[in-house]
Chain A
């Protein structure tokens, strides 16, 4: 999901319904770290997408699982709306830094605080390392550059949770109970959605919306081909016709 994109493309709404009618299992995967899963679901439902909690797999919830497993006490560099996903996690005396997309936290003072924790031995967890995303007023820095800044300053390497990490995609495939070869990934980010999925053996469809920029498909390595669709709606139509073709 590029959650912002879904707000703009009205055509996608009837298409998502058609997608649900196809004999395929669906999982909506998102790196979005600006809001909790509940908040995202409410928003999607409100604009007409009938999506349930178990159809959505977010990098924030994957991050929470890691924190719980490793019994970490994180300093959370997250927007207020995303904090809900960490309810119940102990935040005192932090021994880890968790970085999501949090422009309000990306000021020198807060970053320095995080940097000093890392210099004292805390772990660094990146909810995602997205380079940038599309805002109404243009492209804007994602969480990735700030994770890089902390890595460079402190010498600590981050554990990256979301796309394009293999572990994230593998967890998604495990959730669906399918193999990579049986799966199609539809996304607007040529590197973090499409190439990453293809590296695991999935088929990739790149949609020319959201953060897509003209010529992004040229960034794929030689010999690597993905399908290019104008919009999510077009991608669904393409899938429908491929499935019909196979059935016939």
Chain B
């Protein structure tokens, strides 16, 4: 509770997968208490941004899915995904990307010139991470000395209803190793992501709390950017997350519902 007592919370960043819902068969299942928790936060007017690195769907489809799962009032403007940031970066630097992404997410990139690529963007391709597709991306990187490698998040794994799955960070790492290039990370845990999110909420970073299930990407990343980071024991959480030498969460709660209990009691 100390984390909620010791500060004036002016905004919340709430992770989606592992905090609002677990992805998996049939789109996934809401985590118990999360739908109600979001309703309670809205009722007190707490500014919220829902943060995700998930790029297996376009933003529109993701919001649609979450609404159908029970998060009825969710709006696209409340969801903070790395896609708009990477699109802006690609356009600014006039890069033509080779997309290693789930086909469902491709429509978000329609406006870009995808010919003769001089960049690679690695998103959540999941089953689309095949040897041949990774090889194609590798050849773009090795064939063009100025090619830039972007990774939408550098997650190690995420949790689905049937167990843990490798996240795209592992495949970005594969490409880094093969090509000798270092990826530019767009999305958690990049500092820029959290600072932009805090800015969107109109609050300074030290008045914003990130609530997430990934101790390194969500909690550690947020803390590095000057925010508070609270770990939930849902989603991909594992008990060893509480004893890391490199990240000490500001708070650890069972789930979003418990975090909201504490926020409502103290704010």
Q: Name A's B-contacting residues (CB within 8 A).
A: 103-104, 106-109, 111-112, 115-116, 119, 131-132, 138-142, 144-146, 148-155
Contacts and interface: CB of A to CB of B under 8 A. Distances in A.
B139 interface: yes
A68 to B, nearest CB: 29
Interface of B: 126-132, 134-135, 138-139, 142, 156-157, 163-167, 169-171, 173-178
B131 A131 contact: no
Contact of A140 (B130, B135, B176): B135
A164 to B, nearest CB: 14
A144 B177 contact: yes
Given A107-B130, A108-B130, A116-B163, A150 B135 contact: no
Nearest to B240: A155
24 contacts: A104-B131, A106-B130, A106-B134, A107-B127, A108-B129, A108-B130, A115-B157, A119-B164, A131-B177, A132-B142, A140-B135, A141-B174, A142-B178, A145-B178, A146-B174, A148-B174, A148-B177, A149-B171, A149-B173, A149-B174, A152-B169, A152-B173, A153-B167, A153-B170
B170 A109 contact: no
A103 B130 CA distance: 9
Contacts of B178: 131-132, 141-142, 144-145
Contacts, number: 82
A141 B157 CA distance: 22
A155 B134 contact: no
A108 B174 contact: no
B166 A112 contact: yes
B131 A107 contact: yes
Contacts of B142: 132, 139
A183 B128 CA distance: 46
Given A139-B139, A144-B178, A155-B156, A149 B131 contact: no
A116 B236 CA distance: 13
Contact of B165 (A112, A132, A154): A112
B156 A153 contact: yes
B134 A145 contact: yes
A233 B107 CA distance: 54
Contacts of B131: 103-104, 106-107, 141
A148 B163 contact: no
Contacts of A150: 170
Given A115-B165, A153-B157, 6 more contacts: A103-B132, A107-B129, A132-B138, A140-B138, A145-B173, A152-B173
A142 B142 CA distance: 14
A144 B174 CA distance: 8
Interface centre among A103, A109, A144, A152 (most CB of B within 10 A): A152
A142 B156 CA distance: 21
A141 B138 contact: yes
B56 to A, nearest CB: 12
Nearest to A152: B173
B189 to A, nearest CB: 14
Contacts of B127: 107-109
B57 to A, nearest CB: 17
Contacts of B126: 108
B162 to A, nearest CB: 10
A138 B134 CA distance: 14
A138 B139 contact: yes
A218 B10 CA distance: 54
A172 B115 CA distance: 48
Contacts of A146: 174
A153 B156 CA distance: 4
Nearest to B177: A148
B134 A141 contact: yes
Contacts of A116: 163-164
Contacts of B164: 115-116, 119
Nearest to B125: A108
Nearest to A119: B164
Given A108-B126, A108-B130, A141-B131, A149 B170 contact: yes
Given A103-B131, A109-B127, A153-B167, A145 B175 contact: yes
A77 B126 CA distance: 19
Contacts of B167: 153
Contacts of A115: 157, 164-166, 170
In order of increasing CB-CB distance, the 6 nearest A-B pairs are A145-B174, A153-B170, A149-B170, A152-B173, A149-B174, A103-B131
Nearest to A142: B178
